[in-house]
Amino acid sequence: MSLTMEQVGVDCLSRIADIPIAFTVNSIFRVEPPADGTWGLVLHEVDLQQPLVMDYDTYEERNAPAHWPEDYDVSNWAFFIAVDDGRDVGSAVVATDTPGLPFLGDRRDWALLWDIRVRPEVRRQGIGTKLLRRAADWARQRGCTQLKIDTQNINVRACRFYAKQGCKLGGIDLHTLAHVPKLAGTYPLILLLWYLDL
């Protein structure tokens, strides 16, 4: 693999959209109090009887890359594409200082990993790690002290990936996604917030 990392402009969102973000959900994290009665919440992995496929680009249409510039001012965003032998195999999008962008508020010293994706056939080959590092480097160069990342309890692999990269689980939001129908009719969708010190 001869991987190169390109920083591209907003005019290349179609290239990002062409990289599938869909993944199979075989298990989820259920959020519950610790068994020993101590304070806090713990993640308990539960296998699904019937695997599901989640595709963030189609789950809510506004999530698709083409809509990002319509919904937000992307002038303080960076778009990175991982290219292997002329083929786009992954991408990462990081944002900072964007009014109205969820999870950033008015913090100008935080960046948000808005999107990260790797083609299914080349996942688990270190591409995601290189993309995350490139996004973190960009944020650090802009004076940010933390990179914030959101995911959900249905994305167990992503949670494990972020933990392996040194990200700390800093928030569990039981309510933001409460309006979303329960997964497989049983499990609520729960927002998990990760933080990477820069």
- The per-residue pLDDT for range 162-175, each reduced to its tens digit, is 999 999 999 998 87
Query: DSSP letters of 120-138?
Result: GGGTTSSHHHHHHHHHHHH
pLDDT at 37: 75
Q: Tokens representing 36?
A: 């020993």
Q: Interior CA angle at 129 toward 43 and 69, to 5°?
A: 90
Number of residues written out for the chain: 198
The alpha-carbon radius of gyration of the chain (Å, integer) is 17
Q: Where are the beta strands (DSSP E) in 9-131?
A: 23-32, 42-54, 77-84, 87-96, 110-118
* Rounded CA separation 77/73 (Å): 8
Please give the share of the chain, as a percent, with pLDDT higher than 90. 67
Q: Is the pLDDT of residue 7 over 90?
A: yes
Spell out the domains of the chain, with CATH numbers in brackets.
3-197 (3.40.630.30)
- pLDDT tens readout for residues 113-157: 999 999 999 999 999 999 999 999 999 999 999 999 999 999 999
Q: What does the pLDDT look like over 59-105, one tens digit per residue?
A: 766 678 989 999 999 999 999 999 999 999 999 999 999 988 888 88
How high is the pLDDT of residue 188? 80
Predicted pLDDT of residue 125: 94
Q: What confidence category does residue 184 fall into, taking pLDDT thresholds of 50, 70 and 90?
A: low
Q: What is the pTM of this model?
A: 0.91
pLDDT, mean of residues 25-52: 86
